[in-house]
Amino acid sequence: MLTCTPSTVTDEVEGSPLETWSAFVKVAADITQAFVLVGGLAMDVALVAGLLRPGAHLRSITGSSAKFAMARGGTKSAPMQA
């Protein structure tokens, strides 16, 4: 028999499908919250680790024109003019 009070609704039958389903949904919700928490913490750690990692350094900052000039034998040496 289903009894209804102003604050709660209870089922007096022990082991009813409603209680079983309710318990299953509660456990599923707890597991889902745990996965979201662990995923959020992992993303936070990855973000902080990525921000603290030193940047990659380029070996050569010369452009493509300097590479082409070196391939053709370099440039002429001349005194700098104003």
| Contact call for residues 2 and 9 (beta carbons, < 8 A) | yes
Instruction: Note the pLDDT of residue 18.
Output: 83
CA angle 1, 12, 32 (to 5 degrees): 120
Instruction: Note the pLDDT of residue 31.
Output: 97
pLDDT (tens digit, 0 to 9) for every residue of the chain, 82 residues total?
A: 555 555 555 555 566 888 889 999 999 999 999 999 999 999 999 999 999 998 877 666 566 777 777 788 877 777 777 6
Instruction: Note the pLDDT of residue 74.
Output: 75
pTM above 0.85, yes or no: no
Residue 63 CB-half CA count within 13 A: 1
The two three-digit tokens of residue 67, written as one number = 């590479």
Instruction: Note the pLDDT of residue 6.
Output: 58
Q: Would residue 73 be called left, alpha or beta, if left means φ above 0 and alpha means ψ between -120 and 50 degrees?
A: left
Residue 45, classed as helix, strand or coil, is: helix
